[in-house]
Amino acid sequence: MRVSIHVDDLTKRLGRTQALDGVTTRFETGLMHGVIGPEGAGKTTLFRHLVGLLRPNSGSLRYFDSGQPTTLEAVRPNLAYMPQQQSLYPDLSIEEHLEFFRELHGLSDAEYIEKRDRLLHLTRLEKFRDRPAGQLSGGMYKKLGLMCALVSSPSVLLLDEPTNGVDPISRREFWELLYHLSEQNILIVIATAYMDEAERCARVHLMDAGKLIGAGEPRALMEQEKVRSFDEYFLRRSADRSRDA
């Protein structure tokens, strides 16, 4: 599948919080999209709508396959979601996790062995395949979560703050993995609070307090606002939004 997702005027209230406030944006196939914003911006709420875990109060999400309208139900078997709080099993090894997801997705022996070996090589975890998840470093744990998400060969990969709390070297290695995946022409959407990661994406969608405050190609957005970094961009757009409120 070649999936794209259109979000139109999406709103969601969670208790007293306006978690999403009229969000309109586009996630196009074959691109690395970054949903950027601080804690409480609405990133996780948006992701949960994209995978069908939440329903909006108003607005819509539309799914397309090769430009033709389709449904979430049709897309879901080809969608992988890596939540912010992963629930890996601390007593299971890396390989045992992969075996579990192999059974979950019904892969044949030959298909699984090829995929397992390729994923272990890409993540540089071949030497640690017998190590329990509870004994992995933060970066290795996130890599294991990514491998589990990739066992099904998804067309859409949604990653909710996968580099949060990870050391700089592991962050760089994780992004190298994502660049490799982006060459496979799938839709990747990554949520992050790190403004410096915005420039690593082909398209960015900046959020603050449930609102979309900017979307587009990173360099073009910075040139438009005449700023040198996304920290500056975010502060300026946030200030503009506060004045307009």
- In the prediction, which pLDDT does 243 show? 65
pLDDT tens-digit map of 3-47: 999 999 999 999 999 999 999 999 999 899 999 999 999 999 999
Q: Please check whether residue 239 is in contact with residue 231, taking contact to mean a CB–CB distance below 8 angstroms.
A: no
Q: Answer whether 0.75 is exceeded by the pTM.
A: yes
Q: Please check whether residue 188 is in contact with residue 33, taking contact to mean a CB–CB distance below 8 angstroms.
A: yes
- Structural domains in the chain? 3-84+155-244 (3.40.50.300)
Integer Cα distance of 19 and 237 in angstroms: 18
**Of residues 243 and 211, which shows the higher confidence score?**
211
Q: And the tokens for 162?
A: 């996968």
Query: Across 38-155, where does the E strand assignment appear?
Result: 58-65, 68-70, 79-82
pLDDT tens-digit map of 220-238: 999 998 998 888 888 888 7
Tell me the average pLDDT across 141-168. Answer: 89
Work out the percent of the chain whose per-residue pLDDT is above 70: 98
**Residue 166's pLDDT band (boundaries 50, 70, 90)?**
confident
- In the prediction, which pLDDT does 18 show? 94
- In the prediction, which pLDDT does 113 show? 92
Residues in a beta bridge with 208: 211
Q: Does the pLDDT of residue 214 top 70, yes or no?
A: yes
> Residue 153: CB partners within 8 Å, gap ≥ 6?
115
Q: And the tokens for 143?
A: 């890599």
Tell me the average pLDDT across 121-138. Answer: 91
pLDDT tens-digit map of 40-80: 999 999 999 999 999 999 999 999 999 999 999 999 999 99
Tell me the average pLDDT across 113-129. Answer: 90
Integer Cα distance of 129 and 125 in angstroms: 6
Q: Please check whether residue 174 is in contact with residue 146, taking contact to mean a CB–CB distance below 8 angstroms.
A: yes
Mean per-residue pLDDT over the chain, rounded:
91
